[in-house]
Structure 1
């Protein structure tokens, strides 16, 4: 089987790698981490002009890609640079708008692809952990629309979003897959209390309290769970590819450091014990790459097969990420923990990849349940 990228994806990868190398340097990262948005507006606009955001959507939705391997190419390069741009939120919220929205609602994707509109997906709740069906926020019919009441937690890019896709229950029990609907809430809506904060990974997120907030129904009522699971599957593929890029960046930094740091009159990279450890890291990263390729190639498979690949890949990525973080910091020594050194930012983002969309423990248990079903 041939795993080479198509010519178009190879061009996208090469161009994006050059762009991120030139636009996401140390000074940019420091400014972003100290800033109010969690991303670089200049880099975001540059990504839009390059067509990177469009690569996340199909031609029918105004883009030119949208396949699993398009996601993997884009997010691996973002991870390699340690970028904090909120493209994962575009995959989640934008994908749901493209899949369920009316023509008027889908029109917003044009401005998203142009880099003019920010999105967020508010699904997680304080007591939901990683279970997608645990939704207690309530939606009540009000005239021609709906009002939402409840709380949403860790809404990444929430403080910057012009449109927030919100899940709420129109019927059924809290952990029931049936009865979940999706809604679009505009920035600054009356009754929405949004408390923003900075995450460990450098992004910005929000805790949102909804009190009779006017919202527009996205798609039909009560049948959104399957589409949410589909969007999260795609986002898991993208996040796994980002983690792969972060692993590669950590490995390269560590290998370069072992060549430069000397002890007993020679580079410590000459010591066999450290060579063995670096070989183990390289083997595990290649295994993670195979898992990402496998997942991104199966995102369009039937639900049961797709979700087994999702959990298998996310569990492996989390385990390998832990190994890479620990080995990179240990082989660097104290410098690996300093804020001024690139490795500190990369390892924080890599660690947090395991905690988004389900950690290793959750997905190991989920894979077991899916395999036994």
Structure 2
């Protein structure tokens, strides 16, 4: 397997780096959040114009990338800059629409790539504990209509989306693998109530209540009751994306800490000369490089058969969670009190790393799932 970036991916990385260095900053993000804005629409439009959203989809889907290493390149740079714009929903909900949608439904993908339409994945529920197969939201046939009832929690960018991709059960018990279907639900459909909130890292999320939401049968994505496999594949892509984003955040936190150790002085010497801190930095560098290896490995195995793909996804997410916690803690401790202040960029990276650990399964969940997959 060749882990070297292609010329096109290097060009995308370099272009994205320059754009974010010029347009995006910790101060701008803080001001935007303080103003009550969920994200910067101008930045998001700029990302779309650069082709960042198109890199999330294959040529057959209207993009020009779509592979694991495309996700890795883009999200590592987004993580390094601390971007909170809704690129991840394009991977999750947009990917499901591109993979399962009919010709009419796939028309949304073009709008998603253009940055003019946000679609969000409404999957998690209060009792699911990260299990994608645990779906209590129901989809019942009533004449020519399908009626959805249930509550979806922690829907990333749910209040900013125009369309939701909702998982609902058409057959079976709450934890059965079979019987789960996916539906396209416009947020302005009667019976849909979206309550938005901020996550600890500044990203927007929402709770979505579905109360007798009536849809036409044509709102279904793919075959009835067979949505779990596509959902797992989409979430594996999402895991690759957020693991790469965590890697970028770790790199940024490391660079901030290295700079601080060179500038902060005690007894007339930069504290970076103290051997104890040098040892801690060396340990942190090893963790970051291990995290990089895990992301590369995950990206390279994203298109493997389900069993192998899921094992690598669990291994990567577990390692990223552990490494991210260590890097955040070490960087804050070596900065002292300044590391916790909202005015300093390190605080955002620490919060984002904590948030990423809890997206689509934390370290404990993925360790348990890895063991179960290997045993099976």
Whether these two folds match at TM > 0.5 is yes
Q: What secondary structure is seen at the aligned counterpart in 1 of 2:188?
A: coil
Q: Does 1:148 align with 2:151?
A: no
Distance (Å, rounded) in 1 between the aligned partners of 2:36 and 2:61: 31
In structure 1, what is the equivalent of residue 135 of structure 2? Answer: 135
Cα drift, residue 362 of structure 1: 0.3
TM (normalized to structure 2)?
Answer: 0.98
1:106-255 aligned within 5 A? 106-215=106-215, 216-255=219-258
Please tell me whether residue 89 in structure 1 is matched to residue 92 in structure 2: no
- Residues 37, 90 of structure 1: alpha-carbon distance in 2 compared, 3 angstrom cutoff: farther
Unaligned runs of 5+ residues in structure 1 are none
CA RMSD in angstroms comes to 1.0
Corresponding residue SS for 1:85: coil
Contact 2:321 2:362 (8 Å CA) reproduced: yes
Which ranges of structure 2 fall in alignment gaps of 5 or more residues?
none
Quote how far apart the aligned CAs of 1:36 are.
3.6
Q: How far apart are 1:326 and its partner, in Å? A: 0.5
Specify the alignment match of 2:57 in structure 1.
57
Q: 1:146 touches 1:217 (CA, 8 Å); kept in 2? A: no
CA distance in 1, matches of 2:198, 2:287: 31
Residue 316 of structure 2, aligned match among 313, 317, 327: 313
Q: State the Cα distance separating 1:37 from its structure 2 match.
A: 4.1
| Counterpart mapping for 1:40-79 below 5 A | 40-79=40-79
User: Which whole-Å CA distance do the structure 1 matches of 2:69 and 2:131 have between them?
Assistant: 26
Matched, 1:101 2:75: no
Count of aligned residue pairs for this structure pair: 373
Q: Matched residues in 2 for 1:140 and 1:363: separation? A: 32
CA distance in 1, matches of 2:110, 2:270: 53
Q: CA deviation at 1:2?
A: 4.3
Supply the distance in 2 between the matched residues of 1:35 and 1:327 (Cα, whole angstroms): 31
Q: Distance in 1 between matches of 2:220 and 2:350?
A: 39
Q: Is the Cα contact below 8 Å between 1:118 and 1:160 reproduced in 2?
A: yes
The whole-number CA distance in structure 2 between the counterparts of 1:211 and 1:185 is 13
CA distance in 2, matches of 1:5, 1:21: 21
Q: CA deviation at 1:28?
A: 1.8
Alpha-carbon distance in 2 for matches of 1:43, 1:15: 14
| 2:26 counterpart residue number | 26
Contact conserved, 2:179 with 2:224, CA < 8 A, in 1?
yes
Aligned to 1:279: 282
Partners of 2:36 and 2:141 in 1: CA distance: 36
Deviates more, 1:330-339 or 1:35-44: 35-44
> Does the Cα contact within 8 Å between 1:183 and 1:218 map onto a contact in 2?
yes
Runs of 4+ in 1 over 6 A off after TM superposition: none
Deviations 1:157-177 (A, max 9, x none): 000001100000000000001
2:345 is aligned with 1:345: no
Question: Match of 1:357, SS?
Answer: coil
Asked whether the 8 Å contact 2:96–2:234 carries over to 1, the reply is yes
1:301 aligns with 2:304: yes
Check the 8 A contact 1:123/1:167 in 2, yes or no.
Answer: yes
CA contact (8 A) 2:56 2:66 kept: yes
Task: Please say if residues 234 and 299 of structure 1, whose CA atoms lie closer than 8 Å, have aligned partners that are also in contact.
Answer: yes
SS at match of 1:154: coil
C-alpha deviation, 1:144, in angstroms:
3.1
Cα 1:66–1:358, aligned 2, differ >3 Å: closer, same or farther? same
Query: Is the 1:172–1:178 contact (alpha carbons within 8 Å) kept by the matching residues of 2?
Result: yes
Q: CA offsets per residue over residues 134-175 of structure 1, 9 Å max, x none?
A: 000000123433111000000010000011000000000000
Instruction: Tell me, yes or no, if the aligned pair for 2:26 and 2:82 is still in contact at 8 Å.
Output: no
The Cα offsets for residues 325-353 of structure 1, whole Å up to 9 and x where unpaired, read as 10000000000001100011111011111
SS in 2 for 1:185: strand
Deviation at 1:368, TM superposition (A): 0.5
SS in 2 for 1:197: strand
Per-residue deviation, 1:253? 0.2
